[in-house]
Structures are given as C-alpha cells and as structure tokens.
Amino acid sequence: MAEGEFKAGFVVLLGRPNAGKSTLLNALLKSKLSIVSPKPQTTRHRILGILDGFPVCLVDTPGLIENPKDPLQNCLRRQALAAAQMDPDVMVLLVEAAPPDEAALREFASLTRLGKPVILCLNKTDLPAAPGRHDAVLKAYAGAVKPAAILRLCALKGSGVAELLQEIVRLLPASPSFYETGQLTDRHERFFAAELIREQVFHLYGEEIPHATAVVVESFREAAGAEDEISAVLYMERDSQKGIIIGKGGKALRKLQDQAQQAIADFLGRPAHLELWVKVRKNWRKDPRALKEFGYQA
C-alpha cells in the first residue's frame, strides 16, 4: 500500500447452525453484540459489527441450515447465502470437528467460487476429539474451499482470535473507512432490545419454546433523567406455548421480564423499564405475512 493508505472491508462469518459465529463476532469485537445460546438457530438476522481502528466490518449470519423445515428456516438460510453473495472482501468459514458430508463440501465449495479469499477456521478446539480428527476435518474442508488461511480456535475462550484478526487484516484491500470512528453497528437500540429479550427466552425455556417465539418491540421511549420505557410482545404459535411462557401465576413471565430488563440496561449502559406481553399468532413460522411483520426477510 502507498503511504497514508489503510485497509478496510467487509468480512462475512459463515457456517452451519451452532458453529459459533455469534460468539466469534463478540470475541473479535471484544463487546457483546450478537446474542448467543447453546441452542442452534439462535441467530435470525444478519448483524454488522464494526471493529474500530482497522476498520473491519464483520457480518454475523444465521446458520446455513442444510434442510430447512419451514418458511422461517428458509428465510434464515437465504439471509446467510445473501450475505456470502453481497461481495464481501473476506469470508470466514467456521466449522466444527465433525467430519463433513458431501452436501456440506459441495455447498461451501460453491460459495468459495465467488472469488473472495476464504479463511477456514476450526472452532471449539477445546472440546475432546479423537487423535487426528482435527487434521482430517481441516483437510476435507480445505480440499473443497481452497482457503487462503487455515486456523484453529476456540471463540468462547478467545484462543486463536487475535491470529484470525491478523489474517483478516492481511487479506483486506486498501480502502477508506466505511463508518464513523466509534460506531459499533448499523442497527438501532430497538433491534437489540428485541434480541436480548429473545436471548433470555433461549436461556430460560427448553424444547420448542425459543424457536416458536418472535419478539416485537412496540414502543421504545427515551427520557432525559429517567428510565427508558420499553414495551414488547412475545408472539407464540399455540395457546399451550403461551401458557408455558407465562407460567403458573405469571411467575415464569416475571422472571423473563426481570432478566431481559437487566440485560437491556447492561447493553444500553442506562436504566430501562421493560413490560412484556404474550400473544398467539397461529403458526407464524409458516406464514409469509407474519414473517414480514416480524422483521424477517421473505
């Protein structure tokens, strides 16, 4: 690069559900931006995180669901594919230690034919694995995607994250910054309030409840010297799910409201008051109109 030039660009994080993309985004930013849980399909939106100082624009994506089972899953898969096809400067492919099947290799190979450099990352290397398993998995993926770099990391513990950032910066083109210094994302606080509520649903409820829940923030009012006033609706698919969310005597809903309120206040860095309501929207995951109303791309 010529003197005075610096690097910047867009980096898309790709992988199957639960590969650790959101955890990696947060680790790279050293700030929590994407919600996380041990359950797959927690991420439902593309989320931009801006790493100040380089700058690097990191795009977290929903997992590349192999066999979508409903219109919502189709929507999430299309969002991930669209992110890969939006002309990123670098793609980070996050994989786990399970041997890939032929369908996965074909799909990831097709994404790399877009001509952008790929960094292949084996995540969760802290978990036990048979001798030679990591080498075999990386060899299989590398044969398909022809990566510009191969790394092993544990995003949850921060191991290998600094090395990944070095590789990202090495591969970025010379470019001016795309955003103002200090800007962390292009999303509004209202969006993150809904995400943090949904994260607590993932933490507090099991089985189908988290996946059957959509969160819509209906009002978000800021007032100088006072708490932010936030009102949100949780939409469920069935009356029985509504009953589980509320719990006996409303106990479960009060716990959810308290924990989500605290998470939102921590994220905003200021006091917030949250009111939650629960409604039923029959089979909303299969309803294109509901998906659009709830903010999911059709």
pLDDT of residue 166: 95
Cα 216 to Cα 44, 57, 85, distances in angstroms: 13, 27, 28
Local confidence band at 225 (pLDDT 50, 70, 90 cut-offs): confident
Taking only the tens place, the pLDDT of each residue in 26-55 is 999 999 999 999 998 899 999 999 987 777
pLDDT of residue 174: 84
pLDDT band at 179; cut points 50, 70, 90: confident
User: Does residue 123 have a pLDDT over 90?
Assistant: yes
Domains of the chain (ranges, CATH numbers) = 9-171 (3.40.50.300), 189-293 (3.30.300.20)
Structure tokens of 268?
């905003």
Rounded to the nearest integer, the mean pLDDT of the chain is 92
Q: pLDDT per residue over 65-118, tens digit each?
A: 999 999 999 999 999 999 988 889 999 999 999 999 999 999 999 988 778 899
Provide, rounded to the nearest whole percent, the portion of the chain with pLDDT above 90: 82
Average pLDDT over residues 216-228: 93
User: Is 80 exceeded by the pLDDT of residue 177?
Assistant: no
Taking CB atoms within 8 Å and a gap of at least 24, the contacts of 200-206 are 200/256, 200/259, 200/260, 200/263, 201/234, 201/245, 201/256, 202/35, 202/37, 202/39, 202/42, 203/37, 203/259, 204/252, 204/255, 204/256, 204/259, 205/244, 205/245, 205/252
- Comparing CA positions, the residue from 114, 118, 59 lying closest to residue 85 is 114
Q: Who has greater pLDDT, 112 or 12?
A: 12
Q: What band does 244 get if pLDDT is binned at 50, 70 and 90? A: very high
Instruction: Give the span between the Cα atoms of 21 and 34, in whole angstroms.
Output: 9
The pLDDT of residue 2: 46
Alpha carbons 265 and 247: distance in angstroms, whole number? 24
Task: Please enumerate in sequence order all residues whose Cβ is within 8 A of that of 32, keeping only pairs 6 or more positions apart, or say none.
Answer: 26, 267
- The distance of Cα 17 from the centroid of its chain, to the nearest Å, equals 10
**What pTM does this model have?**
0.93
